[in-house]
Amino acid sequence: MSNFYNIPLDDLKNIPSVPIILRKLMKILENSDVPIDEIVQVISLDPLLSAKTLALANSAYYGASKRIVSITQAVTRLGTSEIKKLAISIYFGRMFESLSLNNLTVKRFWTHSIATAFISNRIINYLIDDLSVYTAEKDQFYLLGLLHDIAYLILDAYLPEKVEIIINALERNEKRGLLQTEQELGFFHAREGANLLRFWEIPDSIATPIEYHHTPSECSGDFSMRAGILSVADWISNHLEFSVFGRQEVIQRDNLFWKKFQFSKFSEEELDNFWEDLKSQTLMFLLFSESIIDLRR
């Protein structure tokens, strides 16, 4: 049986479950040449997803000129990768709506998650090698970014006093950092998050990189590069002040993976310009996401 912070997951009252429609969509979209009809069929099962798909296809972000009125046209315009991102954002957003949070806000949390998701998609273009492999996996990276810190949401809903301890330590501005505070609590959000994801039957290709997103060098096998890219994206997201706790969390940058990106060779000035650009692009994407997904709280 899976645990969350030593508590059996089945004992956590009203723990969210993954909606059947999301599982169905993730399965269908795993296959890159799935017929459009099949996607349209699943989307049409849910009025909210249908409406958002149409809205997205008609949004200025996609340079809409001709008005789109059918789901089939919308899916054709957006492509499967965008549909997947949209569905995942909506359903995961919705899945946690009923949690009552104590120290965190849903908005703050999703801002960090969506920013990390967006940044991971952007930085893949700066990889020194393996570019094509990881570009093909962009929507997987989006999902990794979205879910990597999910354990904090559950921790704040069920054991808020632990989150308070973390926040207090950060407020005291202790240089020992977030992970050391967690170690003292016997809680490691990356590992607990991976346990949750496995409990929700999310595949290992997502759960394993999340488990190692702060210790990517310890991840062996197929998913180590994914864990490394995610860890760099997470570090950048914090560096650009999109952090979960609303202040710069002291997390370590993994230099082994950092060196795999072209920007590791930028001069200080080039790097500053790069951050500025990336920050404004991320802010634009966050605004756009907020208009599509409701981040009400």
Task: Identify which of residues 49 and 232 has a Cβ nearer to Fe ion in the complex.
Answer: 232
Is 234 in contact with 116 (CB distance < 8 Å)? yes
Which residue in 146, 234, 282, 293 binds Fe ion (CB under 5 A)?
Answer: 234
How near is the Cβ of 178 to Fe ion at its closest, in Å?
Answer: 8
CA 249 to chain centre: 17
Q: Which stretch binds Fe ion (CB under 5 A): 25-33, 165-173, 227-235, 278-286?
A: 227-235
Q: Bridge partners of 3?
A: 8
Q: Which stretch binds Fe ion (CB under 5 A): 28-36, 99-107, 231-239, 253-261?
A: 231-239
How near is the Cβ of 146 to Fe ion at its closest, in Å?
Answer: 11
Contacts (Cβ under 8 Å, ≥6 apart) of 259: none
How near is the Cβ of 60 to Fe ion at its closest, in Å?
Answer: 30
Tell me which long-range contacts 239-244 makes (C-beta under 8 A, separation of at least 24): 239/275, 240/115, 240/119, 240/275, 240/278, 240/279, 240/282, 242/111, 242/112, 242/115, 242/116, 242/282, 242/286, 243/112, 244/104, 244/108, 244/109, 244/112, 244/149, 244/152
Tokens of 290: 């907020």
Is 52 in contact with 43 (CB distance < 8 Å)? no
Q: What are phi and psi of 77, to 5 degrees?
A: -65, -45
Q: Under rule CB under 5 A, how many of the chain's residues touch Fe ion? A: 2
Query: Residue 230 is which amino acid?
Result: L
Q: Which residue has the tokens 């879910």?
A: 147
How near is the Cβ of 143 to Fe ion at its closest, in Å?
Answer: 14
Task: Identify which of residues 43 and 153 has a Cβ nearer to Fe ion in the complex.
Answer: 153
Task: Identify which of residues 52 and 213 has a Cβ nearer to Fe ion in the complex.
Answer: 213
Which residue in 46, 139, 149, 156 binds Fe ion (CB under 5 A)?
Answer: 149
Task: Identify which of residues 234 and 254 has a Cβ nearer to Fe ion in the complex.
Answer: 234
Beta-strand relationship, 7-8 and 3-4: antiparallel
Is 289 in contact with 55 (CB distance < 8 Å)? no
Task: Identify which of residues 39 and 196 has a Cβ nearer to Fe ion in the complex.
Answer: 196
By the rule CB under 5 A, 211 interacts with Fe ion: no
How near is the Cβ of 233 to Fe ion at its closest, in Å?
Answer: 9
Task: Identify which of residues 49 and 178 has a Cβ nearer to Fe ion in the complex.
Answer: 178
How near is the Cβ of 210 to Fe ion at its closest, in Å?
Answer: 8
Q: Which stretch binds Fe ion (CB under 5 A): 3-11, 64-72, 233-241, 286-294?
A: 233-241
How near is the Cβ of 40 to Fe ion at its closest, in Å?
Answer: 34
Tokens of 256: 């082994």
How near is the Cβ of 262 to Fe ion at its closest, in Å?
Answer: 23
Contacts to Fe ion by CB under 5 A: 149, 234
